[in-house]
Amino acid sequence: MAPQPSTLSLRGWQTAVWMLATSLQYGWHISALNQIQAALTCQSPGHDAPSNPLPSCIPMNDLQFSIVTSAFTIGGLLGSIGADRSMESLGRKSSIRLCTLLILLGSALMTVSASVPPMVVGRLLIGIGSGLGLCVVPPYLSEISPDNIKGSVGVLNQLGIVLGILFTQIVGIFVAAPTVWRFVPFISASLALLQLCLSFLAVDSPAWLTNKSRIPEARKAAARLWGDEINDDEDQEEGLLAEAGEGGSPTPPHKPPTWGQLLQPPIVRPLVIVCLGMTMQQLSGVNAVLYYSNGILSGVLPQAAAYVSLGITVVNALMTFPPIYLIERLGRRSLITMSAVGSIVSLFLVGYGLNGGHVILASVAVITFIASFAIGLGPIPFVIISDVTPFSAVNSVSSIALSLNWTANFLVGFGFLPLRNFLSGGDPSQEGRVFYLFGVILLTTYLAWAKAYNQ
């Protein structure tokens, strides 16, 4: 048997950090327009100041701004749908390069946009790149990581996302003014360019290389990722083949499963588990809280809602660190369970606090919801993709599950405000009812996920 590495080499950690720039970009663009909306759409003072050659702002009504915003989600769905083919044909590293190039082009276009259509195209390109990257990064992290730290390294994907959200909110505070709002997409374009230039530091997945029968390259990649702990011998080759195969012995390259095979054992159960996890993550209402946190709390904290919003993001980032340590000690299911219970209780308390005008309760409950979400519902659905899925089906399962994730994201983002208004019956004092619904949905999807996971 080939020796099992216990950690990543310096080159391995460089590879992990390199690909996590993709996760950070996704988080960056989730909230990239939140802080700069007024400056971007000519609703803030000073927009009529001379600014050549680009206008200081781009006049938009609410519908046009919604189209620009939603183009990111639509692009994400398209990128996730096409991720299966990209990962299979290009591999992990080249797929990350492709998504980085798309984000670079989209961010550059937004930086120099003078009207709405280029903004829409730019956001669409960024969304496609983010959708592809969100499918590639979790299995890529899993395939370069030794078994004993696979979960901890996998959580870094979520950490990159929440740090991206945090950084863009902080930057937005300083550039939420005419003309200088362009620094938000410019910073993203600069990061994407840097990531492309540093791609030579990244090592491709040994498992993918092995599955393509590129054994010498796979052995070299393993040596770079795991250093001296892997010896360049026949045992190592056998271990790599076993990683890409099923059953612990060298196998021929695996072909991607057909749609019929996806719906049959042994793939159907992992598919159900991963899809339920991704759906549960979005239907919990977390993006409704992140997207509309200012509006949610404006009724009870009219003077401090913006600061509460930043506090939510800080808590989201800080509480993503504990799972890095806990995931290999408590296990995936325990973290999901604790996270779901805390999130469900918090959702009901948010609803009660908003309806009753309890300022402190509503504020604390929003924070505890985000904290609960961050320790399990945020990172674990990404981690379990490679945990429960046969290697041959990882690309397909990841693509399908993330497509559902983007779809649920889109539905929550567009449906939250109309649903809130419908359930409240037009009564502002009853707008917390929507969070009761999110609590029930989260409880239902968690029970379904737990049943599938335990089978």
SS3 string of 120-165? HHHHHHHHHHHHHHHHHHHHHHHHHCCHHHHHHHHHHHHHHHHHHH
Question: What's the token pair of residue 1?
Answer: 């048997």
pLDDT tens digits, one per residue of 161-211: 999 999 998 898 888 888 899 999 999 999 999 999 999 999 999 999 998
Whose tokens are 């360049």? That residue is 232
Compute the residue count for the chain: 455
* pLDDT score, position 241: 44
Task: Name residues whose C-beta falls within 8 Å of residue 221's C-beta, 6 or more positions apart in sequence.
Answer: 203, 204, 205, 206, 209
Topology match between the domains 1-253 and 256-455: yes
Task: Name residues whose C-beta falls within 8 Å of residue 175's C-beta, 6 or more positions apart in sequence.
Answer: 35, 36, 39, 181, 183, 184
- Written in H, E and C, the secondary structure of 289-358 is HHHHHHHHHHCCCCCCHHHHHHHHHHHHHHCCHHHHHHHHHHCHHHHHHHHHHHHHHHHHHHHHHHHHCC
Q: What does CATH list as the number for 256-455? A: 1.20.1250.20
Quick check: 376 and 338 in contact, CB under 8 A?
yes
pTM of the model: 0.89
* pLDDT score, position 300: 60
CA–CA dist 63, 351 (Å, integer): 28
* pLDDT score, position 245: 45
Question: What's the token pair of residue 235?
Answer: 């045992």
* pLDDT score, position 80: 95
Quick check: 25 and 17 in contact, CB under 8 A?
no
Quick check: 300 and 336 in contact, CB under 8 A?
no
Would you list the domain boundaries of the chain? Answer: 1-253, 256-455
* pLDDT score, position 224: 92
Quick check: 116 and 79 in contact, CB under 8 A?
no
Backbone angles phi, psi at 251, to 5 degrees: -135, 160
Longest dimension (CA), the chain: 71
Quick check: 166 and 313 in contact, CB under 8 A?
yes
Q: What does CATH list as the number for 1-253? A: 1.20.1250.20
**Taking CA 381 as the corner, what is the angle to CA 375 and CA 382, rounded to the nearest 5 degrees?**
100
* pLDDT score, position 292: 57
Question: Of 317, 339, 353, 298, which Cα lies nearest the Cα of 156?
Answer: 317
Spans in the chain with pLDDT lower than 70: 1-5, 45-52, 228-254, 290-308
* pLDDT score, position 418: 86
pLDDT tens digits, one per residue of 67-114: 998 899 999 999 999 999 999 999 999 999 999 999 999 999 999 999
Q: SS3 of 250, please? A: coil
Task: Name residues whose C-beta falls within 8 Å of residue 347's C-beta, 6 or more positions apart in sequence.
Answer: 284, 285, 365, 369, 435, 436, 438, 439, 442
Residue type, 67: I
CA–CA dist 293, 33 (Å, integer): 14
